[in-house]
């Protein structure tokens, strides 16, 4: 665990750019500010970067990332993977390095630049992968994004806390029977656990018949098929129009697809059912109301992954680090208080 560049900047009362300049010994920062930033970094156990002399001797100033931007369907600069890659680009620029983004490793080998050790290290996005490790060991230092084994350096998001924020929001609106649609992955289960924890504190629940988990996500057609299964089970188990008053989804893509499908079935959002997502990435094909969700700081995640990798180069024998970034609640237009039935 540790604090981020932005949190350190808040403590120092300066911008995150000034913090980066102070830590890396760049110009345009006063000596007083530099000392103040470094003192705060040491106080809060923020890893200091290596000196310039060490960097010039040991660094290639090149980094390989493996972010599949084709996952953004259709492609968009504001898509999930594009925003993550933008953060990586910002991070390498702050470290005085260059970035090469390629596809991930095959089952038998890494990209040539990695196998030949022509880069300082690798940043790899695992996200929803069920396997918590690469198919083979990396020949250079590596940082994983979103998930990884205990022995790995990982930058991720507070999935449980984000789910709990959404659950508390729904509970405050009077929702007591909430459904969940998502992946059968560690990140998804953490979000579901946080959602349940908050709901149960107010007497609510996510009953088993209202939970649908699947191994691998597909397109909109697959999402609507999973939603139809969920609706059928929930309605059969509980008399009522839908069997629940709110639907929580693993991410905004699923939430957006669910809202459009519910609209086709004559179910209004949020008048009949409230819907929430997770990540704050609006699909370009979605024309519905603004989603209630939590905002994953994707650009910051990418930048922090780069910083962590270059810190690892300077501290090869240090214990593995796991940096967890918060995801704040974004109240949109897809949630509403439960209607009370007058006697």
Q: Is 233 a domain residue?
A: yes
Per-residue model confidence (pLDDT) at position 53 = 40
**pLDDT tens for residues 139-148?**
899 999 998 8
- The gap from C-alpha 65 to its chain's centroid, in whole angstroms, comes to 17
For residue 210, what are the domain limits? 159-295
Identify whether 82 is part of a domain.
no
Q: What are phi and psi of 148, to 5 degrees?
A: 180, 165
Q: Torsions phi, psi of 100, nearest 5? A: -125, 115
Q: 19 with 47: CB under 8 angstroms? A: no
Domain count, the chain: 2
100 burial via Cβ count (<10 Å: 0-12, 13-18, 19+): middle
Name every residue whose Cβ is closer than 8 Å to that of residue 284 and which is 6 or more positions away in sequence: 74, 76, 78, 79
pLDDT at 245 over 50: yes
Residue 331 pLDDT class (50, 70, 90 cuts): very high
Q: What is the rounded distance in angstroms from the CA atom of residue 276 to the CA atom of residue 11? A: 33
Instruction: Tell whether 15 is covered by a domain.
Output: yes
Q: Three-state secondary structure along the chain? A: CCCCHHHHHHHHCCCHHHHHHHHCCCCCCCHHHHHHHHHHHHHCCCCCCCCHHHHHHHCCCEEEEECCHHHCCCCCCCCHHHHHHHHHHHHHHHCCCEEEECCCCCCCCCCHHHHCCCCCCEEEECCCCCCCCCCCCCCCCEEEECCCCCCCEEEEECHHHHHHHHHHHHHHCCCCEEEEEEECCHHHHHHHHHHHHHHHCCCCECCHHHEEEECCCCCHHHHHHHHHHHHHHHHHHCCCCCCCCEEEECCHHHHHHHHHHHHHCCCCCCCCCEEECCECCCCCCCCCCCCEEEECCHHHHHHHHHHHHHHHHHCCCCCCCEEEECCCEECCCCCCCCCCCCC
168 found inside a domain: yes
Of 60-74, 230-244, 276-290, which one has max mean pLDDT?
276-290
Q: Where among 295, 311, 333 does a domain terminate? A: 295
| Residue 39 placed within a domain | yes
Backbone angles phi, psi at 174, to 5 degrees: 95, 10
Does the residue 139 lie in any domain? no
**Looking at 61-65, 218-222, 272-276, which range is the least confident one?**
218-222
173 falls within a domain: yes
From 256, 280, 295, give the residue that closes a domain.
295
CATH number of the structural domain spanning residue 8 = 1.10.260.40
Burial 253-281 (b: 16+ CB within 10 A, else e): bbbbbbbbbbeeeebebbeebbbbbbbbb
Task: Extract the tokens encoding 180.
Answer: 């969940």
pLDDT higher for 12 or 25? 12
What is the mean predicted confidence (pLDDT) over 236-260?
87
What CATH number did the domain enclosing 285 receive? 3.40.50.2300
pLDDT tens-digit profile of 202-220? 999 999 999 999 987 778 8
pLDDT digits (tens, 9 = 90+) for 182-205: 999 889 999 999 999 999 999 999
Per-residue pLDDT at 180:
97
Q: Encoding tokens for residue 123?
A: 């940043």
Per the domain annotation, does 222 fall within a domain?
yes
pLDDT average, residue stretch 22-34:
75
């Amino acid at each position: 665990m540790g604090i981020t560049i932005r949190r350190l900047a808040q403590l120092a009362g300066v911008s995150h750019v000034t913090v980066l300049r102070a830590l890396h010994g760049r110009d345009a920062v006063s000596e007083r500010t530099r000392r103040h930033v470094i003192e705060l970094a040491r106080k809060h156990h923020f890893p200091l970067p290596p000196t310039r002399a060490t960097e010039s001797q040991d660094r290639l100033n090149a980094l390989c990332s493996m972010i599949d931007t084709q996952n953004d369907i259709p492609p968009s600069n504001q898509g999930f993977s594009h925003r993550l890659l933008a953060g990586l680009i910002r991070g390498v620029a702050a470290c005085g390095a260059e970035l090469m983004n390629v596809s991930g490793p095959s089952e038998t080998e890494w990209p040539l630049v990695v196998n030949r050790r022509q880069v300082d290290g690798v940043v790899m996005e695992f996200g929803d992968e069920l396997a918590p490790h690469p198919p083979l060991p990396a020949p250079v230092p590596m940082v994983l994004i979103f998930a990884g084994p205990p022995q790995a350096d990982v930058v991720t998001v507070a999935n449980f806390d984000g789910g709990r924020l959404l659950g508390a929001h729904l509970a405050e609106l009077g929702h007591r029977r909430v459904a969940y649609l998502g992946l059968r992955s560690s990140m998804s289960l953490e979000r579901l656990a946080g959602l349940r924890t908050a709901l149960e504190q107010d007497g609510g629940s996510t009953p088993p018949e209202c939970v649908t988990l699947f191994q691998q996500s597909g397109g909109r057609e697959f999402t609507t098929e999973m939603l139809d299964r969920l609706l059928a089970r929930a309605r059969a188990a509980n008399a009522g129009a839908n069997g629940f008053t709110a639907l929580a989804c693993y991410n905004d893509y699923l939430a957006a697809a669910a809202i459009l499908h519910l609209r086709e079935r004559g179910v209004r959002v949020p008048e009949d059912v409230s819907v929430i997502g997770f990540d704050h990435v609006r699909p370009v094909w979605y024309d519905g109301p603004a989603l209630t969700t939590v905002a994953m700081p994707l650009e910051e995640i990418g930048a922090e992954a780069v910083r962590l990798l270059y810190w690892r180069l300077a501290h090869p024998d240090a214990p593995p680090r796991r940096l967890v970034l918060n995801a704040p609640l974004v109240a949109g237009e897809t949630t509403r208080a439960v209607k009370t039935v007058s006697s």
